[in-house]
Structures are given as structure tokens and as C-alpha cells.
């Protein structure tokens, strides 16, 4: 339920942002938690802090024309929402996917504000992307699209202003093309303007692994808070992209056994533990469907169009896309013995599913906390770029592990402070919100 002071605020946000259902959902999820913070800090209401944080500082929408290999011209739409810079330059990824529209970008940017605040690093919140589908496109088509996209985007970004990174559909290849065009247009070698870069031009070790590794570390801390560990636990992970793949890798290193993963066609089950090396070969090198795993791995099976959540497990890590895990899925997981859930993707569990988990006492790590490892390591990449340094894999991973532990402890302590012990949703929302709110007050009416 919304706090009495926030109901009118939320209704006004829905009215002024019509049709943007994902953004409405993200805002409601935060507002449902922060009522106690408003009671404790009446100055937030007096200075309209909630209203100011829920309104983007700037939104850019632009045309992206490009030509395919057959000479046919296409026109896509590009977006960048520079949502909040109270704590630092806007920071958040670019998503290339047909589903991208203003509401998706705003939901992701809004989540990014609090996720970035929870890291304790000096970065604000932003997000961007385009309704372009990279699937089935040649490298040259991807390059031409990225060059056209950056031709407009370069006007709005910079290492002290707005620092994009990758997201769904935007990996190292795309970041390379984007940076190349930025350098070409500006005549400046500003490696700090993008993160997720290749190591040869300012990238950071662990950046590829960071979101998945960070999610596994966060889940480890949730389990430890209950006197448990990954040892002997069966784990199910949705997706088979970067987040899922490296989440699985770290879970195995921490003693758990991932028995299932998925893509949009279905899931694979391997009772002996998913062979992460084979998943990398299939998805990163060959760019094939996950069904190819079952063809090559004896004893595994592929379930077409199946829900990966039907596989019994003690830990679940939804790591594909928003609203993929429903209340029905949550009930199935609980019935099969699930005790902890860590969101590797952004908002992958529906509000109804989250409520089911919370009422059942399942340790639930929301995405703004559990998947913050990616943006945390992006901030570490920015530090290295600013000082012209390159850190080792081991040093960077140690920093990531420490950040995720501190982040967990902050969420846990905030939940206790506000009378909801063990509620990581409330802890994350309140801790992130108060960090941004307090700084917003100090900066004056801007």
C-alpha cells in the first residue's frame, strides 16, 4: 500500500506518463517502500523531493537512419534519459531491442538512480537505447547502425556528463563501434565516455563478468545472513546471456550447482551441473539457441517453451528480462523448496511474484541491489580511465566483491532500522532513496 502522502504523487505520475506501464511499475515499487522515510524526514515532502526524483532531468529522442547490406534504408528511434545527476554523472546502459520505447528507457533509468546510489560510488542514473534488433544482422550492419546512433548521441554524453555502457543487445562489439564513431566525430580520445570497452582501449577486467558475479556474491551474503551457503544447493538461472552465464560461473565457484538455464526458446536441464564453458561456446561464439546444449551434452535435456522455474531448486536467479517471473512461478519455486532469489536482470519478477516471495519469507534480492555489480565495475572502469591505470583481474574482482558485500550489509541494516528486518526490497529502496534525497536537498532547488 502507498503512504497517504504518496498516493497523489503516484497518480499524478501515471497521468503525466500515459501508457508507460513499466515506468509506472518501477515507480510504484519504490514508493511503496519509502513511506517510513518520509515520516522520519518531513523535509523530503516539504521540498517535493519525491516529485523531483521521479521526473527525468532530461530526455532525448532522436532518429537513427541506417542502410543494410542490400542497400535498403531503415529508420529506428534512439533514446537517452538523463534521469538524475545528484550523486554524479548520469550512468547507465544502452539497450538495442525491438521492445525499447520511452517507457522501458524511463523504467530502467529510474531503477538506475537507486542502484547506482547503493554502490556508494559517485554516479547518477541514466539509460538509453533504440528499437533496433541486432539479431540476424551482419557485423557491417551493426557497425553502420552504431555509427548513426552515435552521430546524434555524442552531443549529449561525456565523462563528466553522461557515461553510457552496454545492456541487452549491446556488448563489446557494439561499444567498440560506438566509441570509434565518438572518437572520429569529436577528435578526442576520451576513454571515460563509455564503459564496457575492450581491454585494448581502456576497458576494465571483470566488466563482462561483473553483473553475474555480483549477483552471485549478493545471494551468497543473503544466504550467509540466514546461516546458509551455496554449498550443496541446486540453483536455477534464467537466460544465457552475459549476466546468466557469469552468474552461473560464480555460483559454481562458490560451491553451488546450477542445474538449468534458458533462452527465449525454452530451457535446458542438466542434473550434473550446467557446463558453463559449453554455454559460452554456444551463445558467445556460435550465437546459437540454448537447445544446442542438449545436443552436445550427454544426460541433459531441452524443454521447448518450458518455464525454467518448474525445475526444483533452493536458489533462483532470474537473469533474462523484465517481468519474466510471475506469481504462479514464484509459488512453484516455493513449493519446490526455493529459499533465496537474486534478480540478475532488471525487474524480472512481477510485483505479484515479489509479494509471494516476501509473504513466504524467501530471501529476495531486488535487481537494484543484486545486479548492481555491473554498474559498480563500470564505475571502477571510469576510475581507471581517469587515472590512466589498468588494474588486474584479481584486484578488480576484490573491489567488486567488497562493494557487493557492503551493498548487502547496507540494505540489511536499513531494513532493520526501519522495522522490516530481512526485507531487502524495503532496505534497498529506502537506502538508495535517502542517499539521493539528502544530496538533492544539499544542492538546492535545481
The SS3 call for residue 351 is helix
So what's the pLDDT on residue 3? Answer: 83
The SS3 call for residue 420 is coil
Q: Does 91 belong to an annotated binding site? A: yes
So what's the pLDDT on residue 122? Answer: 97
Which of the 8 DSSP states describes residue 281?
A: I
The SS3 call for residue 233 is coil
Contact at 8 Å (CB) between 229 and 197? no
- The domain that holds 163 is classified in CATH as 3.40.50.10860
Which of 106, 127, 197, 368 is catalytic? The answer is 127
CA 395, 397, 398, 400 torsion: positive or negative?
positive
Number of domains in the chain: 2
Q: Does 129 belong to an annotated binding site? A: no
- Is the same domain home to 70 and 140? yes
To the nearest 10 degrees (0 to 180), the angle between helices 102-118 and 21-31 is 30
Contact at 8 Å (CB) between 218 and 254? no
So what's the pLDDT on residue 287? Answer: 87
Contact at 8 Å (CB) between 381 and 395? no
pLDDT in tens, the chain (446 residues): 788 889 999 999 999 999 999 999 999 999 999 999 999 999 999 999 999 999 999 999 999 999 999 999 999 999 999 999 999 999 999 999 999 999 999 999 999 999 999 999 999 999 999 999 999 999 999 999 999 999 999 999 999 999 999 998 999 999 999 999 999 999 999 999 999 999 999 999 999 999 999 999 999 999 999 999 999 999 999 999 999 999 999 999 999 999 999 999 999 999 999 999 999 999 989 989 999 999 999 999 999 999 999 999 999 999 998 899 999 999 999 999 999 999 999 889 999 999 999 999 999 999 999 999 999 999 999 999 999 999 999 999 999 999 999 999 999 999 999 999 999 999 999 999 999 999 999 999 99
- Is the same domain home to 234 and 308? yes
- Is the same domain home to 351 and 220? yes
Question: Looking at 345, 370, 395, which one is the last position of a domain?
Answer: 370
Q: Look at residue 238 and tell me if it is in a domain.
A: yes
Rounded-to-integer distance, Cα 374 and Cα 396, Å = 12
- Is the same domain home to 183 and 214? no
- Is the same domain home to 226 and 322? yes
Which residue matches cell numbers 540466514? 226
Q: Tens of pLDDT along 331-362?
A: 999 999 999 999 999 889 999 999 999 999 99
For residue 394, what are the contacts with CB-CB under 8 A and spacing of at least 6?
Answer: none
Which residue matches cell numbers 532547488? 445
Active site residue 405: no
Q: Does 40 belong to an annotated binding site? A: no
- Is the same domain home to 165 and 222? no
For residue 377, what are the contacts with CB-CB under 8 A and spacing of at least 6?
Answer: 204, 206, 207, 210, 214, 396, 400
Q: Does 166 belong to an annotated binding site? A: yes
Q: Look at residue 320 and tell me if it is in a domain.
A: yes
Contact at 8 Å (CB) between 235 and 313? yes
Contact at 8 Å (CB) between 174 and 148? no
Q: Look at residue 33 and tell me if it is in a domain.
A: no
- Is the same domain home to 175 and 221? no
> What range defines the domain where residue 61 resides?
57-191
So what's the pLDDT on residue 312? Answer: 98
Residue/partner pairs of 420-426 with CB below 8 Å, 24 or more apart? 422/225, 422/361, 422/363, 423/358, 424/222, 424/363, 424/364, 424/365, 424/366, 424/369, 425/29, 425/33, 425/354, 425/358, 425/364, 425/366, 426/33
Question: Looking at 340, 370, 400, which one is the last position of a domain?
Answer: 370
Contact at 8 Å (CB) between 2 and 31? yes
CA–CA distances in Å: residue 154 to residues 16, 74, 187, 385:
29, 21, 12, 18
So what's the pLDDT on residue 436? Answer: 98
Question: Looking at 317, 352, 370, which one is the last position of a domain?
Answer: 370
So what's the pLDDT on residue 346? Answer: 87
- Best CA proximity match to 431, nearest among 66, 192, 117: 117
Q: Does 396 belong to an annotated binding site? A: no
Amino acid at each position: 500500500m502507498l503512504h497517504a502522502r504518496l498516493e497523489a504523487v503516484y497518480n499524478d505520475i501515471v497521468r503525466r506518463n500515459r501508457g508507460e506501464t513499466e515506468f509506472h511499475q518501477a515507480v510504484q515499487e519504490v514508493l511503496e517502500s519509502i513511506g517510513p522515510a518520509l515520516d522520519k524526514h518531513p523535509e523530503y515532502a516539504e521540498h517535493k523531493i519525491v516529485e523531483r526524483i521521479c521526473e527525468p532531468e532530461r530526455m532525448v529522442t532522436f532518429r537513427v537512419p541506417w542502410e543494410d547490406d542490400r542497400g535498403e534504408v531503415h529508420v529506428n528511434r534512439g533514446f537517452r534519459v538523463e534521469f538524475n545527476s545528484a550523486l554524479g554523472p548520469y550512468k547507465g546502459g544502452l539497450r538495442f531491442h525491438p521492445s525499447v520505447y520511452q517507457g522501458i528507457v524511463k523504467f530502467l533509468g529510474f531503477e538506475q538512480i537507486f542502484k547506482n546510489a547503493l554502490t556508494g560510488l559517485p554516479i547518477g542514473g541514466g539509460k538509453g537505447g533504440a528499437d533496433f534488433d541486432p539479431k540476424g544482422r551482419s557485423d557491417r550492419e551493426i557497425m553502420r547502425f552504431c555509427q548513426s546512433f552515435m552521430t546524434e548521441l555524442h552531443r549529449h554524453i561525456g565523462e563528466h556528463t553522461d557515461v553510457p555502457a552496454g545492456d541487452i543487445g549491446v556488448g563489446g562489439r557494439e561499444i567498440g563501434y560506438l566509441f570509434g564513431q565518438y572518437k572520429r566525430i569529436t577528435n578526442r580520445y576520451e576513454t571515460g565516455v563509455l564503459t564496457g570497452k575492450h581491454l585494448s582501449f581502456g576497458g576494465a577486467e571483470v566488466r563482462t563478468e561483473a553483473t553475474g558475479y555480483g549477483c552471485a556474491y549478493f545471494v551468497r551474503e543473503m544466504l550467509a545472513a540466514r546461516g546458509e551457503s551455496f554449498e550443496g544447493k541446486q540453483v536455477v538461472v534464467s537466460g544465457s546471456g552475459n549476466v546468466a552465464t557469469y552468474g552461473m560461473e560464480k555460483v559454481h565457484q562458490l560451491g553451488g550447482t546450477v542445474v538449468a538455464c534458458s533462452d527465449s526458446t525454452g530451457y535446458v536441464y542438466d542434473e550434473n551441473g550446467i557446463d558453463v564453458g559449453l554455454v559460452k561456446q554456444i551463445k558467445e561464439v556460435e550465437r546459437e539457441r540454448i537447445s544446442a546444449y542438449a545436443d552436445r551434452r550427454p544426460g541433459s535435456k531441452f524443454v521447448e517453451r518450458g518455464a525454467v522455474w518448474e525445475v526444483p531448486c533452493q536458489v533462483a536467479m532470474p537473469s533474462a528480462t523484465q517481468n519474466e517471473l510471475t506469481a504462479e512461478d514464484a509459488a512453484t519455486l516455493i513449493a519446490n523448496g526455493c529459499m533465496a532469489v537474486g534478480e540478475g536482470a532488471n525487474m524480472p519478477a512481477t510485483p505479484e511474484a515479489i509479494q509471494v516471495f516476501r509473504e513466504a519469507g524467501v530471501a529476495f534480492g531486488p535487481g537494484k541491489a543484486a545486479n548492481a555489480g555491473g554498474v559498480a565495475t563500470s564505475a571502477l572502469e571510469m576510475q581507471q580511465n581517469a587515472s590512466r591505470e589498468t588494474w588486474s583481474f584479481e584486484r578488480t574482482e576484490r573491489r567488486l566483491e567488497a562493494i557487493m558485500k557492503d551493498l548487502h550489509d547496507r540494505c540489511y541494516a536499513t531494513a532493520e532500522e526501519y522495522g522490516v528486518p530481512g526485507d531487502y526490497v524495503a532496505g534497498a529502496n529506502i537506502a538508495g532513496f535517502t542517499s539521493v534525497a539528502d544530496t538533492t536537498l544539499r544542492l538546492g532547488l535545481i
